[in-house]
Amino acid sequence: MSDARYLRVLTFTALGPDSAVDAVLRSHVLPRLLEEPAVIDAWQGRRGSTDGNHVLASTWSESPSSLLAGPLDRSLLCDSHLGSLGGTEIVGEEELEVAIHDRFDRSEPARVLRVFHGVTRAGELADYIEEARAGMIADARINDGLVSFVLGHDRGDAFVSVSTWTGWAAIEAATGGDTRHPFATRNSRRLATYGVSHLELLPEAPVGRSASFESRLEPAG
């Protein structure tokens, strides 16, 4: 099982050329972040060229804010490697307590990052989390497109889930959405509001420590 206790989600705009920025994120930012002993997973996705088009999500075994130099993910996005390309603008920063964290061995790599922001109806977060956990396990057994899933919350009614998938067809099977209705979710009865973002994962980038924890399920067959 995972020992992740915190989920961080940074939303940012990269001001340099996409290909050059991707190269730095792949060769410097993600490997350096994963060298931090407290970091378990890290995923970086982007969509188009709009403001806030990048997301860097990571799970931690201890509070990133407790580090003497501050959260490493933020400093890596502000260092000279990206600065020489025009820099980045961080437009959102979230740090939440992890309630669910799992990943699954698959024959195909993850290609899509799904970031789900939600607020439950008052007092229903705990029930939502248990339903999300059961749904994740059920999906993972029958849908070999789910590669990883993490859900963090703010101790109130707000939460963020970050999941990775081999492709859009796997997300459709799990959520009931499609390309015309991409923001669908099958677990909405406890939600007051929600929003979903889908991003392309940075190809061939490292995502986690292989020894962090073992997958509990074999790929669906």
Q: Which pLDDT does position 2 carry in this prediction?
A: 65
Q: Which pLDDT does position 76 carry in this prediction?
A: 96
Which residue type, as a one-letter code, is found at position 34? L
Point out the residues of the chain with pLDDT beneath 70: 1-2, 49-50, 176-187, 209-221
Cβ-based burial of 122 (10 A; exposed 0-12, middle 13-18, buried ≥19): exposed
Summarised one tens digit per residue, pLDDT across range 85-96 is 999 999 999 999
Domain 6-201: CATH class, spelled out: alpha beta
Q: What is the 3-state secondary structure (H, E, C) of 137-165?
A: HHHHHHCCCEEEEEEEECCCCEEEEEEEE
Are 37 and 79 in contact, with CB atoms under 8 Å apart?
no
Domain ranges of the chain: 6-201
**DSSP E strand boundaries for the chain:** 6-14, 39-46, 54-60, 88-103, 112-120, 146-153, 158-165, 191-201
Cβ-based burial of 17 (10 A; exposed 0-12, middle 13-18, buried ≥19): exposed
What pTM value is reported for the model? 0.88
Summarised one tens digit per residue, pLDDT across range 44-60 is 999 876 677 899 999 99
